[in-house]
């Protein structure tokens, strides 16, 4: 079984890394390039950069920033936000991104997943899904959690796999930034229904949350932001802790 991946996420707004709680109360936490360099040096397996207002503002992610990031990193990184067509994906990949992430545009035009997968390969496309538990079910939201998509989490994840995405990044909106643990039941359900890798996002607060995620679900990677940005957990100590718990990670 492949080693579990630890992936810091950097939400970007106006060229700065920001973080909020449950998709609200957004605050500036630093420079995305410098933070990416530090995470790379500290042992991150990958990074995810999400331009959190690109879709809402109906614009493309900033290729100049992606080029700058690529020049300073030696680990893979994914870029999401504002990818609406093949050309947008091509610009980001040519700028240096290893993978692109699609979310809102894929909900509106699911064939975008087919097109990007066919043109670049499934390994280059991640389907990001933001979902909130409502009335006992999980509903998908778009535009940075602002608009209900009218889709159900598990069926949409399955459709994404069938259309050719290489992995799923599932963020539980109700857990995002709350630091009370991941949405374990939903994450396990997603991973059991799919054959492609699943990245868990939303809820990490202490190291045991990562251990519980890998122990009790079938996800392949854990994504987190605020606990890393604010220094509550460092990557080296987290990886050594997980290794001591009998969980395989790259030290």
Cite the active site residues.
11, 130
Q: How far apart are the C-alpha atoms of 251 and 243, rounded to whole Å? A: 8
Q: How far apart are the C-alpha atoms of 112 and 163, rounded to whole Å? A: 9
For the record, the structure tokens of 61 come out as 């992610």
CB 190 within 8 A of CB 153: yes
Q: How far apart are the C-alpha atoms of 165 and 223, rounded to whole Å? A: 18
How large is the C-alpha radius of gyration of the chain?
A: 16
Cα of 242 vs its chain's centroid, Å: 20
CB 186 within 8 A of CB 170: yes
């Amino acid at each position: 079984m492949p080693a579990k991946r630890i992936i810091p996420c950097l939400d970007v707004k106006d060229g700065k890394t920001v973080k909020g709680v449950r998709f609200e109360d957004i605050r500036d936490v630093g420079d995305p390039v410098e933070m990416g360099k530090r995470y790379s040096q500290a042992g991150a397996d990958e990074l995810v950069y999400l331009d959190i207002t690109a879709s809402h503002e109906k614009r493309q992610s900033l290729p100049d920033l992606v080029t700058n990031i690529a020049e300073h990193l030696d680990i893979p990184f994914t870029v999401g936000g504002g990818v609406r067509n093949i050309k947008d994906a091509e610009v980001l990949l040519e700028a240096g991104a290893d993978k692109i992430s699609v979310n809102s545009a894929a909900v509106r035009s699911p064939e975008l997943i087919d097109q990007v997968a066919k043109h670049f390969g499934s390994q280059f496309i991640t389907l990001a899904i933001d979902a909130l538990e409502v009335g006992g079910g999980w509903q998908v939201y778009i535009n940075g959690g602002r608009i209900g998509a009218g889709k159900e989490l598990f069926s949409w994840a399955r459709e994404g796999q069938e259309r050719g995405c290489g992995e799923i990044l599932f963020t539980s909106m109700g857990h995002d930034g709350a630091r009370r643990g991941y949405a374990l039941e939903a994450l396990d359900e997603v991973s059991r229904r799919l054959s492609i890798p699943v990245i868990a996002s939303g809820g990490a607060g202490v190291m045991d949350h990562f251990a519980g995620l890998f122990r009790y679900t079938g996800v392949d990677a854990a994504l987190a932001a605020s606990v890393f940005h604010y220094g509550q957990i460092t990557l080296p100590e987290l990886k050594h802790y997980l290794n001591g718990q009998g969980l395989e990670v790259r030290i």
